[in-house]
């Protein structure tokens, strides 16, 4: 078996992004967490305050023989709106920003090329505002945030927000 690689994405609420990536062939594990801010070991409450500087993210552990970073990016672009600054739907604040935290120079280059290609193709009506930053420390979110959709699929938020997103992407819930 190939060694797993990691990709870290912020696209709004990590519950939504996690539910999407968990359904991808070649993705072995998805971890919800926080990164990009100044507070060490932040809590969900600190991140939700918008004052920590951290984004809600998912770290995708994937088999590069089965799925590449570029393919993960293709899903990332479909799973959220990369044209809204510090906002995804009703979720507002820098913790919900669109961001790619790259683990190596190849990921940085692929992410930049992907944004450039989407911009030339005018894939989105508005300009892409997705931040591309180096991954420093990922702080895992509290246990009840892990596999949130899988464990709470009948919760009102899941029914109202995640179910429609998965349906739009052609992923069964």
53-109 pLDDT, tens digit per residue, is: 999 999 999 999 999 999 999 999 999 999 999 999 889 999 999 999 999 999 999
Are 8 and 21 contacting, i.e. CB atoms less than 8 angstroms apart? no
- The answer to whether residue 117 sits within a structural domain is yes
- The answer to whether residue 173 sits within a structural domain is no
What CATH number is attached to the domain comprising 63?
A: 3.30.1060.10
- The answer to whether residue 16 sits within a structural domain is yes
**Catalytic residue (choose from 13, 16, 48, 158):** 13
Query: Would you call 13 a catalytic residue per the annotation?
Result: yes
Number of domains in the chain: 1
- The answer to whether residue 126 sits within a structural domain is yes
From residue 74, give the alpha-carbon distance in Å to each of 5, 71, 151: 17, 5, 26
Nearest by Cα to 98 from 87, 106, 107, 109: 87
The residue range of the domain holding 87 is 5-168
- The structure tokens 């990709």 sit at 7
What average pLDDT does range 138-152 have in this prediction?
96
User: Per-residue pLDDT tens for 20-59?
Assistant: 999 999 999 999 999 999 999 999 999 999 999 999 999 9
Are 19 and 58 contacting, i.e. CB atoms less than 8 angstroms apart? no
Helix residue ranges per DSSP H, 34-147: 44-48, 69-79, 105-120
- The answer to whether residue 79 sits within a structural domain is yes
CA angle 89, 93, 95 (to 5 degrees): 100
Are 62 and 26 contacting, i.e. CB atoms less than 8 angstroms apart? yes
**Contacts of residue 172, Cβ cutoff 8 Å, sequence gap at least 6:** 23, 166
């Amino acid at each position: 078996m190939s060694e797993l690689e990691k990709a870290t994405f912020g696209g709004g609420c990590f519950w939504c992004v996690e539910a999407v990536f968990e359904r991808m062939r070649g993705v072995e594990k998805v971890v919800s967490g926080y990164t990009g801010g100044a507070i060490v070991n932040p809590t969900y409450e600190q991140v939700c305050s918008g004052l920590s500087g951290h984004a809600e993210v998912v770290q995708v552990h994937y088999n590069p023989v089965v799925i590449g970073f570029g393919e993960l990016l293709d899903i990332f672009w479909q799973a959220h709106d990369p044209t809204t600054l510090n906002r995804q739907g009703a979720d507002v604040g820098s913790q919900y920003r669109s961001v790619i935290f790259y683990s190596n120079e190849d990921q940085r280059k692929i992410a930049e090329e992907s944004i450039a290609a989407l911009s030339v193709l005018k894939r989105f009506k508005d300009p892409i505002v997705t931040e591309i930053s180096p991954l420093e420390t990922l702080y895992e979110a509290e246990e009840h945030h892990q596999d949130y959709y899988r464990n709470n699929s009948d919760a009102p938020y899941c029914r109202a927000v995640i179910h429609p997103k998965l349906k739009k992407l052609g992923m069964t819930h």
